[in-house]
A and B are shown apart, each in its own frame.
Chain A
């Protein structure tokens, strides 16, 4: 296929089919940069669907990447559950005090309904408006926090680990509630026009829990949940490790796995080969102070390791580009993908030899 007759969606679908499209697809997962573009505070930007629509469209025009990212921020789900969102001037909003103060509170919780949560309806409106603009040209990525990872915000990270190990009944009960919510929220985004759902599941990463625990918790939950989501999913560990559980993740029914920069992309790709596509793994934190030359070097390296044979989408490794990453770096990344990401990747074999 040549660049002139292929859309971003076709490019992505080709790579997901483990074939080489015209060039490496790349997802620039910018959430807050649209606010900068529109000259708004992050809080104001996320207050209206129209802002995010305009921000996402301008980002794509500018950086020529291959997706629309309908993700607002993680605490928006907590807002639906009755939690607080704390906005920052220079970073993603934080979730406020956990909703669950003592484990027994779990028995009194009820999952929110999407139709009753104005914050979620705002996201759905954003997706609908974006879909009307991009139609079938660009994939729109919706986002859910997995049932297994949402409790980091619901109860706090330390208490959640204690819950997993020491309160199995309450843990299971909370997972049932979270699964109900997650499935409804994912399918609402797909109905609104999202092409796929990014299933953020950092607690399942072997950075956070060992594989044997994953197999009895996050794995089963992901399998049950993803089976009920009526569209393709990408599993994202938000910078956490996935290498030791790639085969398990592939069995959850997800189509894509995002790997961390602390893992060797070539090794991840070789294990994923033909089973599951790979997304990643530029270092979003370090990106803040990259020069254009460094950006090009890191992009080239990622393409050489992940690109051959398709099944690869270039992206950052966290699922959100930090506010502090300058426009020049994002532009350098984009230019490098367009320069070095054209298939066939003959230059990789020449450089290797």
Chain B
């Protein structure tokens, strides 16, 4: 039954059918709590889309539009004060010195659609990022990049955080990391996600460890 629901939900997302997605939610309203809806329907559907993108069957535009639908659905059913949203180490996401914001938007939506709360730093410089991490006591930082120079800047972020003794888990993603599998280690990130659903898995694991 669950698998059938995920199939239908995935189909609704791929055709950008917000109403169909809402109907699946409403249909199962009595059977599932909001958290169960997220964990049993949204997260698996987004995982399938992520795998589809890896295999070349699903396009980034579909992932992005699906993420928007899911983010809105979750916002509607999961109020900001629900424990799942608040009872977690502080987390933020940003794009380093680059105006390519799509990847960040996708990961942000996927995480929020999976019940996580995080600050959105948008496009940000290394110094500003380090300052905000310290001031806002961020424990998990996601950095999205498109350009190689931006990817290399992650190492500067790490170095500056080390200088001040600030411990932060850094998770990176974006084209340069996908095209060079060793780059995330070189820049001293803690993990790299190939797509938004991998980012959700990584964050879930980190949250359990922290």
Distance, CA A243 to CA B57, complexed state (A): 11
CB atoms of B105 and A208 under 8 A apart: no
CB atoms of A208 and B59 under 8 A apart: yes
Partner-contacting stretch, out of B27-35, B72-80, B172-180: B172-180
CB atoms of A91 and B147 under 8 A apart: yes
CB atoms of B64 and A286 under 8 A apart: no
CB neighbours (8 Å) of B16 from chain A are 165
A125 interfacial by beta-carbon distance below 8 Å: no
CB atoms of B179 and A239 under 8 A apart: yes
Q: Which of B56, B98, B99, B175 has the most CB of A within 10 A?
A: B99
Distance, CA A208 to CA B16, complexed state (A): 16
Partner pick for B64 among A161, A207, A243, A322, CB 8 A cutoff: A161
A213 interfacial by beta-carbon distance below 8 Å: yes
In A34-92, which residues have CB < 8 Å from any B CB?
88, 90-92
CB atoms of A285 and B176 under 8 A apart: yes
In A204-222, which residues have CB < 8 Å from any B CB?
206-210, 213
CB atoms of B179 and A323 under 8 A apart: no
CB neighbours (8 Å) of A98 from chain B are 99
CB neighbours (8 Å) of B59 from chain A are 206-210, 213
Interface size on B, residues (CB 8 A): 27
Q: Which residue of B lies closest to A212 (CB)?
A: B59
Binding site for B on A (CB under 8 A): 88, 90-92, 94-98, 152, 156-158, 161-162, 164-165, 206-210, 213, 239, 241, 243-244, 261-262, 283-286, 288-289, 322-324
Partner pick for B62 among A158, A210, A261, A285, CB 8 A cutoff: A210
Distance, CA A95 to CA B101, complexed state (A): 12
Q: List 20 A-B contacts (CB under 8 A).
A: A91-B150, A94-B99, A156-B99, A157-B101, A157-B102, A158-B101, A161-B61, A161-B65, A209-B59, A210-B58, A210-B62, A239-B179, A241-B56, A261-B179, A285-B176, A285-B179, A286-B179, A288-B148, A323-B149, A324-B149
Distance, CA A207 to CA B56, complexed state (A): 7
CB neighbours (8 Å) of B105 from chain A are 158
Given known A-B contacts A207-B60, A286-B180, A322-B148, A94 and B65 have beta carbons under 8 A apart: no
CB atoms of A158 and B102 under 8 A apart: yes
Distance, CA A98 to CA B99, complexed state (A): 8
CB neighbours (8 Å) of A288 from chain B are 148, 180
Partner pick for B61 among A91, A97, A164, CB 8 A cutoff: A164
CB neighbours (8 Å) of B101 from chain A are 156-158
Q: Which residue of B lies closest to A286 (CB)?
A: B180
Shortest beta-carbon distance from A218 to chain B in Å:
11
Partner pick for B100 among A96, A157, A262, A286, CB 8 A cutoff: A157
CB atoms of B180 and A285 under 8 A apart: yes
CB atoms of B64 and A158 under 8 A apart: yes
B202 interfacial by beta-carbon distance below 8 Å: no
Shortest beta-carbon distance from A241 to chain B in Å:
6
In B46-101, which residues have CB < 8 Å from any A CB?
56, 58-62, 64-65, 97-101
B152 interfacial by beta-carbon distance below 8 Å: yes
B168 interfacial by beta-carbon distance below 8 Å: no
B24 interfacial by beta-carbon distance below 8 Å: no
Q: Which residue of B lies closest to A160 (CB)?
A: B102
Shortest beta-carbon distance from B189 to chain A in Å:
16
B183 interfacial by beta-carbon distance below 8 Å: yes
CB atoms of A283 and B56 under 8 A apart: no
CB atoms of B64 and A324 under 8 A apart: no
Q: Which residue of A lies closest to B16 (CB)?
A: A165
CB neighbours (8 Å) of B150 from chain A are 91
Distance, CA A208 to CA B58, complexed state (A): 9
CB atoms of B61 and A210 under 8 A apart: yes
